[in-house]
Amino acid sequence: MPRDGFMSRPLTRRHALASAGLAAATLLPGRAGAQPRFAGREIVATAFGGPSQDLIQRMVYDAVTRETGARGTQTPLLSANAFARMRAEAQAPQIDLFMFSGGQQVPAKAAGLTQKLPEAPNFANVPATLKDADGHWVAWGLVTEGILYRPDKVATPPRSYKDFFKPEFAGHIAFPHITNGYGTDFLVMLARAHGGSESNIGPGFEALKRIAGRANIFRSAAEVQTLFASGDIWIMPYDGASAMRSTAMGIPVAYSVPEEGAPFVLLTGCAARRSRNADIASAVLNRHLDPEVQTAIAREIGWAPVNTATQLPPDVAPFMAPTDRLATLDRDVINASRPAWTERFNREIAR
């Protein structure tokens, strides 16, 4: 397994120099010493809570305040809640910058809830597939999924989604509900492992049905650690960052990249259509994308960098799938099928 992580490339001298001078170069273009460009203004953004919020406050918002004069306030809001709030207060947004982890930026843009973000230097280093062609959203992180397991209870590390059917795991499996994005991806990967696909999901449901009876099906991300800590749960499909967090909390949890490939979700940012602070939002997202910040987020939270100029620290590699092992899912088909799949899941799986 290659030890380098996602979208990384060797740290060059040129890049190191660029990185060092980046903040001054991008946030105060040619106006060092002049009046900060957002003096006295304020931006409100959603956040994913927990340690990530603290880290980002420190490394992103505080830095933006120092460099531009704009104050930044984060409010914790899960992607789904955030999107509901974005929709409900479209006429008079209280929040300028919305962060999503469940792909909500796509329906948000389609519903006319977003606006074009002013260009920022680091956006150019994000691969075209990870940002909106019209500039309405940009990804600033990537979370790779796979199989999480307790190495102290499981002798041979799981290598495939088919390993969930091993008899020794019966009664020790947990998986997320389909309304949790990882639950949907698990269903799709099971379908793929059994000859199906996004557009032929039947085999996925058949497979899920075989393990659902004795599995713990949970809804919220916060439960992952509690489940593993209980000692009853040995294996579940989830993301590498959670394995990293569990390990840091003292629960032995390892991450394995399945041979079928690792699905992933994007962490994206977009500005509310009627927000008057899209320029600050752009500066904030640009700062998220600084290699220095990308590295810190990877190391402390386990979210992979998307700025191709970032050098990935080697110690996070066990919790991230390398680029060539990623599985790209057809999100359009998945989003269109979601209502039908949820109905079927509630009736057939969650019994």
Partner 1 sequence: MPASARRGLIAAGLLAPAALVFALLFLWPQFGLFLQSLEGPPTYSRFLGDGYYLGVLGNSLLLGVCVTLVTLVLGFPLAFLLARAETRWAGLLLLLTTFPLWVSAVVRSFAWMVLFFRSGVASRLLQGSGLVPPDFQLIGTFAGVVIALAQVLLPIMIVTLYAVIRGIDRDLEHAAMNLGASPAVALWLVTLRLARGGVLAGSLLVFSLSVSAFATPSMIGGARAHFMAVTIYEQTLELLDWPFAAAIAAILLVISLSVALTYGRLLGERAR
Partner 2 sequence: MTSLRSPLGWVLRALALLGFIYLLGPLLVIVAASFSDTGYLAFPPQGFSLRWYQAALADARYLNGFFVSLRLAAMVAALSLLVGTAAAVALTRFAFPGSVLLEALFLSPLVLPALVLAVALTLFFAANPIAPPGMTRLVVSHLLVGVPMVLRVMLPVLRRVDPAIEEAARNLGASPVKAFLLVTLPALRPGLVAAAALAFIFSFDEVEMALFLGSVRDAPLTVVLYGAAQMQMDPTVAAVSSLLILLALLLMVAQQVYANR
C-alpha 104: how far from chain center: 12
| Binding of residue 249 to partner 2 (CB under 8 A) | yes
Which residues touch 279 (CB under 8 Å, ≥6 apart)? 38, 118
Burial of residue 122, with CB atoms counted within 10 A of its CB: 0-12 exposed, 13-18 middle, 19 or more buried: buried
Inter-residue contact 292 to 299 (CB < 8 Å): no
Q: Which amino acid is at 286?
A: N
Distance set, CA 63 to CA 56, 57, 71, 284 (Å): 10, 8, 10, 9
> Which CB, 94 or 129, lies closer to partner 2?
94
| Binding of residue 226 to partner 2 (CB under 8 A) | yes
Binding to partner 2, residues 54-113 (CB under 8 A)? 73, 75-78, 81, 84-85, 88-92, 94-95
> Which CB, 162 or 274, lies closer to partner 2?
274
Choose from partner 2, partner 1, none: what does 53 bind? Cβ within 5-8 Å by kind: partner 2
- b/e string for 239-261 if b means 16 or more Cβ within 10 A? bbbbbbbbbeeebebbbbbbebb
Q: Considering the complex, what minimum distance in angstroms separates the CB of residue 187 from partner 1? A: 12
Q: Considering the complex, what minimum distance in angstroms separates the CB of residue 237 from partner 1? A: 14
Other Cβ atoms within 10 Å of 25 Cβ, number:
13
| Binding of residue 229 to partner 2 (CB under 8 A) | yes
Choose from partner 2, partner 1, none: what does 80 bind? Cβ within 5-8 Å by kind: partner 1
> Which CB, 18 or 80, lies closer to partner 1?
80
Binding site for partner 1 (CB under 8 A): 80-81, 83-84, 87, 107, 171, 177, 179, 216-220, 222-223, 226, 230-232, 338-339, 342-343, 345-347, 349-351
Q: How far apart are CA 18 and CA 191, in angstroms?
A: 45
Q: Considering the complex, what minimum distance in angstroms separates the CB of residue 131 from partner 2? A: 25
Q: Is 130 helix (H, G, I), strand (E, B) or coil?
A: helix
> Which CB, 81 or 94, lies closer to partner 1?
81
| Binding of residue 277 to partner 2 (CB under 8 A) | no
Choose from partner 1, partner 2, none: what does 97 bind? Cβ within 5-8 Å by kind: none
Q: How far apart are CA 135 and CA 87, in angstroms?
A: 20
- Binding interface with partner 2 (CB under 8 A): 44, 47-53, 73, 75-78, 81, 84-85, 88-92, 94-95, 221-226, 229, 245, 248-251
